[in-house]
Chain A
Amino acid sequence: MSRGLRRWVLALGLLGTAVLLVLAARGLPAFGGSAHPYGERAVHAALDRHTANTVAAVTFDQRSFDTLGEESILFGAVLGTVVLLRQTRDENRLPPQPARVSPPVRRYALLALPVTLLVGLYIVAHGQLSPGGGFQGGIVVATALHLLYIAVDYRALERIRPIGLYEAADAAGEAAYVLLGAAGLLAGTAFLANVLPYGTLNTLASGGTVPLFNAAIGVEVACGVVVLLARFLDQAVEIVSTDADADADPDADADSDTDADARSHDAAGEEADT
């Protein structure tokens, strides 16, 4: 299909979708209205189970089966990235070089690292009380570790990041969620049911199994993101292609070069069209 024809088909499709979306938007309940049947029931259910953060109650109590599916997607995406970005036969691994970091950056990053780590753990631990939880806190914890890469260099990051351990912990986080769910079966109710005592509203030990699910997700997200970023950083820092006369550009793994290439291809394509 030629480029021009393709644009016409696209325009037609987008126009049709736009008309349908506008018609659908007019049929939706008015923005800011007071009728939220699901929301009200979810709030009541959360308060019944002494969970102050109703969003956490929805994620890890009322809809915890759905969350199991979502964290499995996360696990699968991490696994897929690990497989895709492995070192291939025609690639070599170079030891990372020490890098010079300007003193203000180093000072700031080293100062921010422990604070960020603590904030991340706080967010995971207080998921049932205040906004936050395993998903958000896990990302913050993973970010904290990577401040070491900014403050020092890649070798320092590798020293605190035995990747096999994080891969195992990622799987353990996923397994812990399923096993916690199975605890409901052992207690004689349903899979993923909230079987622990609910505790007192607005204290750290409230919400039954919600804090435990939060911790399992926190471990999985933090370790998953560390593994994910490790694979990308390995590609950028350590792995180099040995066979220079391969049809691929030998510098293709450096992002800036690939972008430049793509742009020159773009320019060539446009000229050919006109």
Chain B
Amino acid sequence: MTVLPYLVAAWLFLIGCYGLATSRDLIHAVGCLAVCQSSTYVLLLAVGYRDGGTAPVFSDIAPGSRPVVDPVVQAMVLTDVVIGATVTALLLALVVQIAKRHGTVDPDELSELRG
């Protein structure tokens, strides 16, 4: 099955979207967004994999002696993980304020506007 890793990424994205759309709790929704985001990590790493490849770090292997996996996608995933963590923190900060101002974290109960 050469498409299985791509399908795993697609499944993670869809299940995250499902969780986001049906969420009754904003903290749960932020968690679902993190699941959606992790689907991109799986997809990128799957695209960069090479059979028999090792980490693209030449401190302990001689250049050219072994195939290495694609470092470009790894660099993208690396920065994405850190950004994902801080953006999650920002969203959770919003949830803290919503819980304080409205006394609920259920998105369905946040329909009214307040000045």
Q: Which residues of A are in contact with B by a Cβ distance under 8 Å?
A: 6-7, 10, 14, 17-18, 21-22, 24-26, 28-34, 36, 38-39, 42-43, 46-47, 52-59, 63, 66-67, 70, 73-74, 77-78, 80-81, 84-85, 129-131, 133, 135-136, 139, 201-202, 221, 224-225, 228, 231-232, 235, 241, 247-249, 252-253, 258-259, 261-263, 265-266, 269
- CB A77 to nearest CB in B, in angstroms, measures 4
A-B contact pairs, 23 of them (CB 8 A): A6-B21, A25-B3, A28-B3, A30-B2, A33-B51, A36-B70, A39-B71, A39-B73, A42-B71, A63-B75, A66-B79, A70-B79, A77-B83, A129-B57, A130-B59, A131-B55, A131-B57, A135-B81, A228-B86, A231-B93, A252-B99, A259-B27, A265-B24
Whole-angstrom CA separation of A201 from B10 in the bound complex:
40
Report yes or no: B75 in contact with A241, Cβ–Cβ below 8 A: no
Report yes or no: B90 in contact with A81, Cβ–Cβ below 8 A: yes
Q: Which residue of A lies closest to B108 (CB)?
A: A269
Using known A-B contacts A21-B13, A31-B5, determine if residue A135 contacts B78 with beta carbons closer than 8 Å: yes
- CB A174 to nearest CB in B, in angstroms, measures 13
Residues of the A chain whose Cβ atoms lie less than 8 Å from the Cβ of B22: 7, 10
Report yes or no: B59 in contact with A54, Cβ–Cβ below 8 A: no
Which of the four size classes fits the interface of chain B?
35 or more
Residues of the A chain whose Cβ atoms lie less than 8 Å from the Cβ of B2: 30-32
Report yes or no: A39 in contact with B106, Cβ–Cβ below 8 A: no
- CB B108 to nearest CB in A, in angstroms, measures 7
Residues of the A chain whose Cβ atoms lie less than 8 Å from the Cβ of B59: 52-53, 129-130, 202
Whole-angstrom CA separation of A255 from B99 in the bound complex:
10
Taking CB atoms and an 8 Å cut-off, the chain B residues in 49-88 that contact chain A are 49-51, 55-59, 63, 67-75, 78-83, 85-87
Report yes or no: B82 in contact with A21, Cβ–Cβ below 8 A: no
Residues of the B chain whose Cβ atoms lie less than 8 Å from the Cβ of A53: 56-59
Using known A-B contacts A32-B51, A55-B75, A81-B89, determine if residue A39 contacts B70 with beta carbons closer than 8 Å: yes
Report yes or no: B105 in contact with A258, Cβ–Cβ below 8 A: yes
Report yes or no: B71 in contact with A80, Cβ–Cβ below 8 A: no
Report yes or no: B10 in contact with A224, Cβ–Cβ below 8 A: no
Report yes or no: A31 in contact with B55, Cβ–Cβ below 8 A: no
- Chain A: interface secondary structure? helix
Q: Which residue of A lies closest to B74 (CB)?
A: A55
Report yes or no: A85 in contact with B58, Cβ–Cβ below 8 A: no
Report yes or no: B72 in contact with A58, Cβ–Cβ below 8 A: yes
Whole-angstrom CA separation of A31 from B6 in the bound complex:
8
**Which of B21, B75, B94 lies at the interface centre, i.e. has the most chain A CB atoms within 10 A of its CB?**
B75
Report yes or no: B70 in contact with A74, Cβ–Cβ below 8 A: no
Report yes or no: B57 in contact with A262, Cβ–Cβ below 8 A: no
Residues of the B chain whose Cβ atoms lie less than 8 Å from the Cβ of A29: 47
Q: Which residue of A lies closest to B92 (CB)?
A: A232
**Which of B6, B27, B97 lies at the interface centre, i.e. has the most chain A CB atoms within 10 A of its CB?**
B6
Whole-angstrom CA separation of A39 from B75 in the bound complex:
11
Given contacts A22-B10, A31-B3, A253-B100, 16 further A-B contacts (CB under 8 A): A14-B18, A25-B10, A30-B2, A30-B3, A31-B46, A32-B50, A42-B72, A52-B58, A77-B90, A131-B57, A228-B86, A228-B89, A247-B102, A248-B103, A258-B99, A266-B106
Using known A-B contacts A31-B4, A77-B86, determine if residue A265 contacts B109 with beta carbons closer than 8 Å: yes
Report yes or no: B106 in contact with A262, Cβ–Cβ below 8 A: yes
- CB B54 to nearest CB in A, in angstroms, measures 11
Q: Which residue of B lies closest to A11 (CB)?
A: B18
Report yes or no: B90 in contact with A43, Cβ–Cβ below 8 A: no
- CB A251 to nearest CB in B, in angstroms, measures 10
